[in-house]
Each structure stands twice: as C-alpha cells, then as structure tokens.
Amino acid sequence: MERSEVRGEGFAMAKSSFYFPILVFFTLGNFGFVLPTAIADLTSPYLSPNTIFPEYQKMLHTFRIFICSPQNTKNSISYNTPAESLFHASLVNSPFETLYPEEAHLFFVLFPSDFSARSISRFVRDLRFELPYWNRTLGADHFYMSCTGLSYESDRNLVELKKNSVQISCFPTPHGKFIPHKDITLPPLTLNSPLPSLPQSPVNKTATFLGYFRSYGDREESQSSLVNELSGDPDFVIGSNAFDRLTHMARLASSKFCLFFYAVDVSGIEDALRFGCVPVVITDGPIQDLPFLDVLRWSEMAVFVGTGGGGKDLKHVLKRACKDGSYERMRGLGMKASQHWVWNESPQPYDAFHMVLYQLWSRRHVIRYARRQLV
C-alpha cells in the first residue's frame, strides 16, 4: 500500500471528531424539500454553539499560517474574483501570517488563477524537496485557493494536492470539483456597494409578498416552467437584475422568502439573510458546498427545494412554513448568521474573512508522519 493510501485512512480518522451536517431531502409529491436531521438549539444558528466562541478566541490568539509562494509572486498574485483577492490581501496584512514555518499550523500553497496544472505540479514538487513540511503529511496541513476548483489528475503532486490539501473555492463550485468535509467555499463578494441595514426588518404580518425572485436572465432560468408559473402568481414578485439597488432592497424587505436557482446565481443570499428574507434554494440534488456548512445550521435557516412539483407545491411548502412557525425561526437565525457573509476591506470580528479562517482552524488536526532517515 502506498503512503498516500495510508495517509488517506489516517486523515479520515483525524477528521472523525468533527460533526458535519447532512441535508436530507424528503418528498412532497414530486417536490423535494429539506428538513432538519436532528432536534437542536433553535435559538442559535450554529451547529456547535458551545464550541464556536471559545475556539474562535483561541484561533485569534494562536493560529499561524505560513505562505508558500513561487518566487516574486507573494504580493502580485492575480485572481479571477474579488473574494479571492480580498481573502489573500486580508491574510498577508493580518497577524495570522507567520514568517517562520516551524510556528505554522497550516501552509498556504499560493499560486495565481492562471497557473496551469503543469505549473502547479512543479510548484508542489519544489515544496516537497525544498521544505520538510509537505512530506510529513503529504500535504494535509496545506491549503490552496482555486475559484473553480482543481480537477482530478494522474500526476502525483496534483493527486496529493487535490486529495489531501484543503481547497478554498468559490460558491457554487463546479460539479465534481469539491470534496465534502475537507474543502470549503468563499461567500460571494459583489462589486456593488453593500445594501444599507434596515432600522427594523419586516415581520411576518407586514411582508407583502410570499416570495421574491430576482431574475438574472440566464437561459435555463428564463425557460424554467417554475419561473413562468410564479410570474403569474400575485403572491410572488419576479424582478429583473436591471432593477436599481433601492428597488431590490425594498423587495427584500417586503418578501418572506427569496428564491435562488443554485446552478445560476446565489450571490444574493447574503442580502436575503441580512434583510430577513428566508433563502429558498432551488436545486434537484444535494448541496455540499454551502459556505460555512460545518459551522451554520443551514437546514434551520433556509429551504431547499426541487423543481419537480412546480409552483403549486412550492407555494404549499412556503405557506406551511409560515403557519407552523418555521418561517419566523428561520428568519431570525438567518439574520444572526448574515454577519459571517460580509466582506470588509479591513476585516472585522466574525466577518467572512475570519469565518473562513475559522474553518481552516478546525481542519488543523492532521496525522503527521515521522521523517525517515536515509541510510
């Protein structure tokens, strides 16, 4: 058995102490929706409310990351998305970076978005031979950032990087390029100015619409029979992406639920959470790459539905949530959790940058091999 295989088993055992949520799909007719898998503390949006705050404080004081970068690229890396750029800039200007690799809990394998697979392989090969840290875990205490995720390759260096190292990708990540329980995603960052906070968010009784869907003009989305059906229902408002921000803000504030097609655009989830508009994510399969999936109680903050039942079944599910009290609970938990989706040029406590770091911090426990002496 090769060392990489042994290491894979060790990695699984090392991770077994963490609890990861599973979103379970039930069926209402032909219409799938998600219910929580366990009874939990309904006042907290966190999976482990008694753990996150002391662990977060410990992270602030002790977490150290060493950045491994190709020569002359550490401060001139180019990225495809603003979230990647801001994460990198925030890290190099934070106390979390260390210049001493022996102090590091994790190692950031830094390369630009336009690096070819061959260039990445060479870089990992250099890390293997020039530093002692890669070989002791086969890359398990390393992480890298790739918005679209890396594909599976036959090259040994890329295999170990993909299989063992933590991948930070954008949400949503293309199908097949995300490994659950190991990889994490960045919350989306839009270039538009942030929406102002409401002095008082709407409550159940004052919301005008049952659901709000902001269309982005995607062909699959525009041809969806679900969108066509909802566009004629007075309980739903369908808006174009061309609407100005104030109009968008007003519709967020006056709707109980906000609808998103998972495969099209989900960047507005942060706005929906902050304004108390419960996200409804439309997908015909399980979602494994939600931001902070191992931190937040997503099944208590959002509704996950399929397309099979059409608008009638969707409306039934949402109205039932309003009647049984689920809506108010999800709305409150979502508003509490919305702070974690916010990116700041100067990082603030519990914002997106710090919570991505918290997920890395929770993945710092790995199996390390003793170095073999050559004789």
Contact by Cβ (8 Å): 363, 166: yes
Contacts (Cβ under 8 Å, ≥6 apart) of 205 = none
What's the chain's length in residues?
Answer: 375
Please tell me the distance from the alpha carbon of residue 335 to that of residue 333, in angstroms, as a whole number: 5
Please tell me the distance from the alpha carbon of residue 223 to that of residue 205, in angstroms, as a whole number: 33
- Helices marked H in 24-174: 49-62, 82-92, 117-130, 133-137, 156-164
Contacts (Cβ under 8 Å, ≥6 apart) of 292 = 187, 337, 340, 355, 359
Give the model's pLDDT for residue 123: 95
Residue 371: pLDDT above 70? Answer: no
Portion of the chain with pLDDT greater than 70, in percent: 77
The count of other CB atoms within 10 Å of the CB of residue 364 is 17
If pLDDT is split at 50, 70 and 90, which confidence band does 32 have?
very low
95-99, 172-176, 274-278, 347-351: least confidently modelled range: 172-176
What is the mean pLDDT of the segment spanning 295-322? 91
Q: What region does 292 belong to: left with phi over 0, alpha with psi -120 to 50, or beta?
A: left
Residue type, 302: A
Residue type, 128: R
What is the mean pLDDT of the segment spanning 240-260? 85
CA atoms within 13 A on the CB side of 313: 16
Element (H, E) at 31: strand 31-35
How many Å from the N-terminal Cα to the C-terminal Cα in the chain? 22
Burial category of 47 from C-beta neighbours within 10 Å (exposed 0-12, middle 13-18, buried 19 and up):
buried
Contact by Cβ (8 Å): 283, 260: no
What is this structure's pTM?
Answer: 0.83
Which tens digit of pLDDT belongs to each residue from 116-157?
A: 999 999 999 999 999 999 999 999 999 999 999 998 888 999
Which tens digit of pLDDT belongs to each residue from 3-30?
A: 333 334 333 334 433 334 444 333 333 3
Angle between helices 156-164 and 3-15 (to 10 degrees): 10
Please tell me the distance from the alpha carbon of residue 126 to that of residue 347, in angstroms, as a whole number: 32
Residue 277: pLDDT above 80? Answer: yes
